[in-house]
Structure 1
Amino acid sequence: MAPARKKHGSSKPYIIPGGFTELSLQFSSDSAARHKLYVKEHRVRAEKSSRRPLDRTLFVLNIPPYCSKAVVRELFSQFGGVQSVELREHPGSFQDSEPKLSKFFKPAEKQGFKVGYIVFQNSSSVTAAKSHSHNSPLVVSTEQRPVKTGVQKWIQQYKESFIQPNKLQQIVDSFMAGYDKRKEEEAERQRKEGEQQQEDEEGWVKVTRGHKGTKARPHSEAANRRTLQKEMKKKKRKELMNFYTWQHRNTQKLHIAELRKKFEEDKQRIALLRAQRKFRPY
């Protein structure tokens, strides 16, 4: 039987279709099983975000559940200084969470494989990570950096789930202070918009020019609310007036009778004026 052919080189990176480079991940130094990570340079030009610079961001697929942000930072710090690490369930554009909630008020994260965006301090670190040999696995748990799994991990998570009442009160007070501040800013903004766009007696709205660079806001929320109220009143009045078909028919008959009566009065007035007109040659 012919000997098995080597799949990869000994020191060269293994590149798969799609431009991804395969990296080996090993939980511990004495573990025989290896996990595969797939990395490539993040180059989504449609995404214009300073949090993911195109030349310094590494996109990582198939990150196992036991790798937290701290673990991923330590694993890839051997290629250079890591600025930030972002782990998500699915790839997508960067979204700021507004407002930023404490971990005690966030829903529990789903346990599963994730994708990551690793931002390095230098662009050369991305090249170093892509050129890393797949035969040199990245070790997750070491003596200097142990990673707990199984029962030990559950015990640690259970202990970390408890929080002191005074600390929780501080978090709640901080959140409510930020919430009240945002509400006050929103009310002040609406008040200014209402002052700038007020309807006069005839229903005209004065639109003032804003600061340079600001987006035009042709309709404020207050103006839209007033317009909606007027439309609702009109619709309600019409529905009450013509609720029944016979009401609508009688209204039309009365209107036609008034027009005929006015027509007859105009005819009589014209005939009277003609009768009073006399020929006066001198």
Structure 2
Amino acid sequence: MAPSEDQLACVIPGGFTVLSLRFSEDETHALHQMCVKEHRVRSESNTDRPLDRTLFVLNVPPYCTQRVLTDVFSRFGSIQSVELSDKPGASESSDSDLSKYFRATRRQCFRVAYIVFSSESGVRAAKRHPQSVPLTVSTAERPVRTGVSKWIQQYSESLVNASALQGAVDQFMTNFDRRKTEEAERLKKEAEQQQEDEEGWVKVTKAKARPHSETANQRTLQKEDKKKQRKELLNFYSWQHRNTQKEHIAELRKKFEEDKQRIAILRAQRKFRPF
């Protein structure tokens, strides 16, 4: 038996399928529409969005978090990951390297989502879902808080445990001091390796084994070239200074000999009067 017209998916220009969304099961008229299609941007270098298993979702309301979208779209298949963004395009820079106590507040606006299913069947099922069957956000099994209860929850989550924060700060400072010590030791060893004595001799020490990778070798060669250029420049200035001193001494000696000859001639002519 063929499906009725109301049970067919609503496909609009651009290849998007329209899905209806309601906040709770009690709401029957206040529906929200989201547009979904298979993610097919081949020029994108993001490996977290596989082409055959990623669903691109437009017009995601502000109350839909990653957890809510996972619960709503899990009816179509197992979900691997959900990514929310303010606008389509490359994935936004992640702040995972920052402390959990410092998180930027997201703007409350309609966003886009990239939902990655475990298999291709999840994307196909979402694209075939009829618009007349709305998806429910808040149910008795997975309620979504709104209003005052939501604000109370957000305020409670924003409070920071003082002892936990102090522990995180102490751990950060310990790691920072360790990195500073290691950096100072490394600079000291490099200075000892490149130290010259008064006669210009360089102390040679056995270098540590370097990692055999192309990037590491390239960095090492660039560093050695810079040291060689700096050393050649220092040697050039030293040689120029020594040459200038030699020429000055030779000129003084020449002038001294000329003065001696002039004094001898004046004495011979009886015209030398030193006082």
Structure-2-length-normalised TM-score? 0.64
1:182-221 to 2 correspondences below 5 Å: 187=183, 211-214=212-215, 216-217=218-219, 219-220=222-223
Residues 35, 129 of structure 1: alpha-carbon distance in 2 compared, 3 angstrom cutoff: same
> In structure 2, what is the Cα distance between the partners aligned to 1:184 and 1:20?
57
**What amino acid sits opposite 2:69 in the alignment?**
V
> In structure 1, what is the equivalent of residue 25 of structure 2?
29
> In structure 1, what is the Cα distance between the partners aligned to 2:153 and 2:14?
39
> In structure 2, what is the equivalent of residue 17 of structure 1?
13
> In structure 1, what is the Cα distance between the partners aligned to 2:47 and 2:35?
24
Q: Which moved more, 1:93-102 or 1:151-160?
A: 93-102
Residues 171, 35 of structure 1: alpha-carbon distance in 2 compared, 3 angstrom cutoff: farther
Residues 78, 98 of structure 1: alpha-carbon distance in 2 compared, 3 angstrom cutoff: closer
1:135 counterpart SS class = coil
> In structure 2, what is the equivalent of residue 50 of structure 1?
47
> In structure 1, what is the equivalent of residue 69 of structure 2?
72
1:175-186 to 2 correspondences below 5 Å: 175=172
> In structure 1, what is the Cα distance between the partners aligned to 2:178 and 2:153?
36
> In structure 2, what is the Cα distance between the partners aligned to 1:11 and 1:221?
71
CA displacement, residues 110-146 of structure 1 (integer Å, 9 cap, x when unaligned): 1111111111111110111111111111001111111
- Once superposed, what is the RMSD of the aligned Cα atoms? 4.1
- TM-aligned CA deviation for residue 61 of structure 1: 0.9
> In structure 2, what is the Cα distance between the partners aligned to 1:57 and 1:29?
28
> In structure 2, what is the Cα distance between the partners aligned to 1:220 and 1:168?
40
CA displacement, residues 215-244 of structure 1 (integer Å, 9 cap, x when unaligned): 8457459949x97xx8xxxxxxxxxxxxxx
- TM-aligned CA deviation for residue 100 of structure 1: 4.1
> In structure 1, what is the equivalent of residue 57 of structure 2?
60
**What amino acid sits opposite 2:139 in the alignment?**
T
- TM-aligned CA deviation for residue 211 of structure 1: 3.7
The structure 1 residue matched to 2:97, chosen from 85, 96, 99, is: 99
Residues 180, 117 of structure 1: alpha-carbon distance in 2 compared, 3 angstrom cutoff: farther
> In structure 2, what is the equivalent of residue 117 of structure 1?
114
Residues 143, 170 of structure 1: alpha-carbon distance in 2 compared, 3 angstrom cutoff: same
**What amino acid sits opposite 1:156 in the alignment?**
Q
> In structure 1, what is the equivalent of residue 163 of structure 2?
166
Structure 2: give runs of 5+ residues left out of the alignment. Answer: 201-209, 234-275
Percent identity over the alignment? Answer: 48
CA displacement, residues 41-86 of structure 1 (integer Å, 9 cap, x when unaligned): 1122122333211111111111101111111100000011111111
Q: Which moved more, 1:14-23 or 1:72-81?
A: 14-23
1:10 counterpart SS class = helix
> In structure 2, what is the equivalent of residue 244 of structure 1?
none
